[in-house]
Structure 1
């Protein structure tokens, strides 16, 4: 299929060549199989190359949500990190449609980590430990290159099997270098570190590896329990404030916060280091490897820990009794159903926050930037799509 160069952009000293194809020619090259995922950024489709038969994932990033420079930065960063066996690989496929920028990456046939976490139950401990090791190596590799992922969550962990024997970190659209000052995006999610939650929208904050360490700690909690530890790391969130007070008191034994009683003392020591309120006191992600040999969840404590039963609360309003799962359900997932969001913090009925898919940026604006973006010199009436030449990226 013939193609013509559209434009060249330099990222990290290397030119990325973007070329044009019509929509019909793209359809001739790729057979659409199904949609793999959808978000405010756009969507990911599973396609098969019609001549080679190989399946790949095409990520479509909506143009009015992300600037071309940001899209190319994500592509080049992912390419530079693809030498790690624990980071998703990008392919020599790069194109744009009238509405989207698109690149190809390897297909992870087992979906993402969110899909397999049983709500309010969690994954078997051995599976969690496999995830901890592989994700820890992925993040440690990034941090060794002074890069911070900034969006660590189960939706961005792709699976090549349902037992988590091979998983990979994905989605580097938020990735920035250590020391960069960035604006705080709209809203917070449970994985957001407290210093980011407190940051001014105008002044922003400095990017540090400790942001990933915090998110990694929250992710491990989610994998082990099927709940969020809190909705936001802010004083207004009763679960977070309870955990913060316990930390401030020196983490005394026998007075565990309600959601943390199920963990062993070794696991609690690990969480204390990952989820230290002060960023400078957090450990590195590879420090968790020494905890993998220990038991993390105590079955005796699990039975006494907080689950989701209404009405069994202490005088502070936090559930403390043995609880059963009794939440309403929302959209079905391949293996189970995830409940709707829990009662907001500060209300009379306080329950652990069930897992839900989390979006960090404002859906009405591009990632960290505002306004619509139209590439210069683009003919809006052109009914052409854009396909990529093979390129080599080395950062």
Structure 2
């Protein structure tokens, strides 16, 4: 059974068959014989990502290598097959029909994002302009809605997993589906990046499992939006012991309470949107598509920059985002300023429950992410 014939079926039904199909056809490859390695794009505990040129096709690709010592074949096949299944969406990273193994690694090829990832362009303590934020986050919202409509939950929404093709975010794509799971399934262990982790997961015991829900992504999406517009995290961890989270919690619980200082830059419309995304009770969080209405409203109280030919109205941000056809499945690729301060976060906030260095002069982390997938 071919990959294309499986695409018409539901995700829960096809993933196991896709994995079996890939396992049968996956070959051992000597990388230097088939690819010209240009440079390393990123590395972490998982392995590395290299920018390469396919010697036969002459196409630039990003090869992701997952170390066999730390990655089970089943996990590799799951990430690869989910990525391929989703890559028909223009707002999700494109995939090539290439998966192989070497002596030390499992590897697959995906589209190369020439401008890196979103983390690289968010100015610490400043954030992106409202217009750029809207243009970027709208595409991320469409990608997540596409994901959720196929009953899948990403579980690791953060700037490092949003790849960009230009610094103005005219074209961005969601990536890295290593933690993606089918909604309603049970996971034994909480993982992910701490500031983006929903409160119900922060409170989950290491010894108890939890059900994977869309609300996990919705919460992380809300935190991501705050980070993009401020250059800071809203809190270090969504627990009562965190002062900034506790202030937010009291504000949400008692509607007449004062708006916490780091949220006062936002308009009433934006605050309402955040309340829907960051509802403390997961069952009350909105669907991603429910926030699209807010793109026609102002989000910041003061204008960050005068209108330009590129940014005439709020409506332009999303009305002019056009889908792009990327025939990757067949292997044919297409080649400000704010004065308010926000919480100062410790280096432990950044990535995947692991310590990374932090720039001592900023509140937002300026460090090499644990995993950069490009």
Bucket of the pairwise TM-score, normalised by the shorter protein: 0.7 to 0.9
Tell me how far 1:38 sits from its aligned partner: 1.4
Asked if the contact 1:194–1:233 (Cα under 8 Å) also holds between the matched residues in 2, the reply is yes
CA apart distance, 1:339: 5.0
Offset at residue 294 of structure 1 (A): 1.0
- Equivalents in 2 of 1:163, 1:93: separation in Å? 30
- In structure 2, the CA distance between the partners of 1:188 and 1:251, relative to structure 1 (3 Å rule), is farther
Q: For each residue in 1:73-110, what CA deviation from the matched residue of structure 2 results, as whole angstroms up to 9, or x when unmatched? A: 11111111111000111111111122211000011111
1:258 corresponds to: 261
CA RMSD across the alignment: 2.6
Distance 1:115-1:251 versus aligned 2 partners, 3 A rule: farther
Equivalent of 1:12 in 10, 16, 20: 16
Structure 2: how far apart are the matches of 1:176 and 1:136?
A: 18
The structure that is strand-richer by fraction is: 1
Q: Show the counterpart of 2:182.
A: 177
Q: What is the deviation of 1:129?
A: 0.3
Specify whether residues 213 and 356 from structure 1 end up closer, same or farther in structure 2 by C-alpha distance, changes over 3 A only: farther
| Alignment check: 8 A CA contact 1:120 1:308 kept | no
Question: Residue 391 of structure 1 aligns with which residue?
Answer: none
Gaps (5+ residues) in structure 2? 1-13, 305-336, 348-356
- Structure 2 equivalent of residue 194 of structure 1: 199
Is the Cα contact below 8 Å between 1:261 and 1:304 reproduced in 2?
A: no
| Aligned partners of 1:149 and 1:212 also within 8 Å | yes
Show the counterpart of 2:37. 32
Out of 290, 294, 305, the residue aligned to residue 291 of structure 1 is 294
Residue in 2 that maps onto 1:165: 170
Whose helix proportion is higher, 1 or 2? 2
Q: Where does residue 5 of structure 1 map in the other structure?
A: none
CA contact (8 A) 1:140 1:285 kept: yes
- What secondary structure is seen at the aligned counterpart in 1 of 2:207? coil
Residues 180 and 206 in structure 1, CA contact (< 8 A), matched pair in contact too: yes
Task: Mark the CA change 1:133 to 1:36 in structure 2 (over 3 Å): closer, same or farther.
Answer: same
Residue aligned with 1:12, SS: helix
How far 1:231 sits from its partner (Å)? 1.0
* Residue aligning to 1:81: 86
User: Which consecutive residues of structure 1, in runs of 5 or more, have no partner in the other structure?
Assistant: 1-9, 310-317, 319-326, 329-337, 343-350, 361-395
The answer for the alignment partner of 2:359 in structure 1 is: 340
Q: How many residues align?
A: 313
The alpha-carbon distance between structure 1 residues 133 and 118, as it changes in their structure 2 partners (threshold 3 A), is: same
2:296 aligns to what SS in structure 1?
A: coil
- Per-residue CA deviations over 1:357-392 (Å, capped at 9, x if unaligned) read 6659xxxxxxxxxxxxxxxxxxxxxxxxxxxxxxxx
1:306 paired residue among 319, 325, 341: 341
Q: What are the residue-to-residue correspondences of 1:51-62 with 2, within 5 Å? A: 51-62=56-67
1:202 deviates by: 1.7
Task: Answer whether contact 2:93 2:111 (CA < 8 A) is retained.
Answer: yes
In the alignment, what sits opposite 1:220?
Answer: 225
Q: Distance in 1 between matches of 2:32 and 2:99?
A: 15
- Flag as ranges the 4+ runs of structure 1 deviating above 4 A: 300-304, 351-360
Give 1:39 deviation, angstroms. 1.9
Q: For 1:127, which of 132, 138, 141 is the aligned residue? A: 132
Instruction: Kindly state the Cα deviation for residue 12 of structure 1 after the two structures are TM-superposed.
Output: 2.5
Alignment of 1:318-329 (within 5 A): none
User: CA shift at 1:274, angstroms?
Assistant: 0.4
TM-score with structure 2 length normalisation?
Answer: 0.78
Q: 1:171 to 1:50 in 2, by over 3 A?
A: same
Task: Write out aligned runs for 1:236-275 (5 A).
Answer: 236-250=241-255, 252=257, 255-275=258-278
